[in-house]
Structure 1
């Protein structure tokens, strides 16, 4: 289980996204793009045109997290635009299996996200349709929120379910991930970590990524 860090540009300087992406290009694995529509969540952020532009300038693959209504319609275009990974919310999708397959058909990794109150068990049989399971560790919609420890038991259950199915699905956590919380997430079984403020509020974002990775890897070694 390799540790991966995906800095969220939701916490970056939107006026200088290319430079902010470049700041973590040598140390991160992905660039996390939070897409919000002011309907599924109470905020409006980046959309498809920004993703298309970032794809041309960013060295890292784009990890697009769609917090939007009707992802069945909008997710495939993000994969077509060159995103390396496209994640939809189970709470918003009407046809998740079809949509996950469409994402894959267009060459991207397919992810399914669950809000803090959504249980993992009902989606056990969909593991074969996804490449990543994302568990929100805050309520979606805003960056900089406080980490919800109540989600950690769900992370552990998800790890057990993924391992029982063969362990090929990545387990991502998103929300409040920082130097203070990443070890708990790694210990619970997460292997992909979205970090926004913890990276882009640091004086040296690249070093912040290194420090987060080191903490997650240390916690992982202690549990294996």
Structure 2
């Protein structure tokens, strides 16, 4: 991250994929108590990615249980067909994949028209140039650090230069854009992602497998990320 770049606040955004689906409302409450900043819903359609996960009714049932921001990561083909349902379900921010729609600019506009905040995601093989001309329509860019569709995958460290390129671009343009990373984020990888310029960190398996519990996992990841961000700012 450029040393003169303003630091955006670190946010921990758990994925609920590893949670107990039979009690998702309680799981969301436990995450809120643990101090997370938002909750990410990994929405999969069985086509853009192999698995099927959360429909809007499931998310709507969990919405009254917590006050946290809900973001829907739409790993679906033709998200423009579904997005209004996820806004109505209580998602505050919708993440649309650049690869999933023919008319990305129009789709991001539809998110705003539906009353939600827009974000765009990039698969590992998709370059930053693919979203360069829609950055004015989003408040966040998600750089996938795994190939989407499965939890528990290994972090792809070669995505860090891509994160750095994106951070330099938004700083150069003076855009108030967060950079999120998703995939393989844990104690050993969060520093590299944050040093490269990410400030919203999605963690799933690393949170749930911490033997000291969710609260420890969240505080540990936050501390590591903030230390890495501070070190990058002074480098």
TM-score (norm 1): 0.96
* 1:57-68 matched pairs, under 5 angstroms: 57-68=65-76
Deviations 1:123-148 (A, max 9, x none): 11110011110010000000000000
State which of 68, 72, 85 in structure 2 corresponds to 1:77. 85
Q: Residues 165 and 77 (structure 1 numbering): CA distance in 2 closer, same or farther, change over 3 Å?
A: farther
Large movers: runs of 4+ above 3 Å: none
Question: How far did residue 167 of structure 1 move?
Answer: 3.3
Question: How far did residue 8 of structure 1 move?
Answer: 0.4
* 1:1-150 matched pairs, under 5 angstroms: 1-26=8-33, 27-150=35-158
Q: Is the 8 A contact 1:76 1:99 kept in 2?
A: no
For residues 220 and 11 of structure 1, the distance between their equivalents in structure 2, rounded to whole angstroms, comes to 27
Q: Is the 8 A contact 1:12 1:20 kept in 2?
A: yes
Gaps of at least 5 residues in structure 1 are none
State which of 165, 185, 189 in structure 2 corresponds to 1:157. 165
Question: How far did residue 184 of structure 1 move?
Answer: 0.4
Q: Secondary structure of 2:155's match?
A: coil
Q: Secondary structure of 1:25's match?
A: helix
Gaps of at least 5 residues in structure 2 are 1-7
Root mean square deviation of aligned Cα: 1.1
TM-score (norm 2): 0.92
Q: Is the 8 A contact 2:38 2:68 kept in 1?
A: yes
Question: How far did residue 52 of structure 1 move?
Answer: 1.1
Question: How far did residue 76 of structure 1 move?
Answer: 2.5
For residues 22 and 208 of structure 2, the distance between their equivalents in structure 1, rounded to whole angstroms, comes to 14
